[in-house]
Amino acid sequence: MKLSLPANISKLRKEHSMTQEQLAEALGVTFAAVSKWERGVATPELNLIGEMADLFEVSIDALIGYEFRNNDRENVVARLKRSVHSRNNEDDFYDIEKALQRYPNCFDVSYYSARIYRVRGLTQKKAAYSKKALTLYNRACMLIKQNTDSEISDISIRKEMAEIHLALGEYDKGVELLKQNNPCRLNHPLIGQTLASSCNDPEGALPYLSMALLDLTVAHMEIAVGYINVFYKTKDYSNALALVDWALAFYPGLRNPEKHGYLDKSEAVLWAVRAGIQLSLCMKEDAMNSLRQAKNIALRFDEAPNYSASSVRFVSCQTSATAFDDLGDTAMIGVENLITSDERSELLDLWRNVNNEE
């Protein structure tokens, strides 16, 4: 560990309102000697360090800047995890190399050391750090059986390695690694982006981007419904309404102007959800308007149901893809199922009123 005796002498001297001359006089040395200590060009003898510690009322360890650290593996890993989030502390590399020397076959030490080198390589634009990270990630992959973190896997590590290759401008290596480690189309967005922007292959990018966009529509609905339930069940109706409005803003941009699609069915149900939230906020007339929107969108979809993925704007599928849901056989049934599941009869009454309108 790097000691900081020169800085500490200067700091403690000033805290005690002493000049360099006064400190020199108290210790029986010359002013020049104190000046050299604080500039780091000379080191005081051990007995003088002890006298200064007494004078400044600190321990010798504190004066020289030595911090006792527990270097068992658990504490070493904890320090490495913290260092991942620091940006430019060069002392971190000292800790990394000591940790790797002491625990060369520890997964956590290799993995988090790799992450530190990766971040520093990216932020400081140092290719040597990035390449060091690749070496350490490879070591981590060999030690993966030790891993106990469910969010880390061989696949996630390979993805991080691919991102390093991309940052280094090694696009072919990066894309190939992403393709080789791509369960559930995990890497489709990045593959598509890289092919289109860095590899000048827009046609090759389109299938990856299309499937990624379809996956996004599913994830969007899952996230939105999850948040809505959180806010609704905690009676935070204002945030629930803000969330459903955010969710509804997603659909118009993906609507194919030439044909209706299965996203209309999801949108209709969300409008019904919006009505229920508005009713909780005593916004009865607004709830009626939301139910009208739900009805109009549902009827429009049911006139010509289209569950093909090609109904989503921007999607270009080389293989057929079809959406399935458990909302109901039709969009209107989906809306009604949502409304009847609400415990309040008032929402159902509003829905009946909307359906009785001319």
Domain containing 78 — which CATH number?
1.25.40
pLDDT (tens place) for every residue of the chain, 358 residues total = 445 788 889 988 998 899 999 999 999 999 999 999 999 889 899 899 999 988 988 878 778 775 545 567 888 888 888 888 876 666 677 778 888 888 889 999 999 999 999 999 998 899 999 999 999 999 999 999 999 999 999 999 999 999 999 999 999 999 999 999 999 999 999 999 999 999 999 999 999 999 999 999 999 999 999 999 999 999 999 999 999 999 999 988 998 777 778 889 899 999 999 999 999 999 999 999 999 999 999 999 899 888 888 888 898 866 555 556 677 789 999 999 999 988 888 999 999 999 988 6
Same domain as 290, residue 231: yes
Same domain as 106, residue 60: no
* CB distance 63 to 46 below 8 Å: no
Residue 248: which domain range?
206-355
* Domain termination residue (choose one: 47, 64, 81): 64
Same domain as 77, residue 44: no
Same domain as 332, residue 231: yes
Q: How many domains does one find in the chain? A: 3
Compute and round to an integer the Cα radius of gyration of the chain: 32
pTM, full prediction: 0.75
* CB distance 115 to 86 below 8 Å: no
Tell me the C-alpha to C-alpha distance, in Å, between residue 170 and each of 166, 177, 203: 5, 11, 20
Same domain as 211, residue 229: yes
Same domain as 146, residue 113: yes
Same domain as 49, residue 83: no
Same domain as 329, residue 220: yes
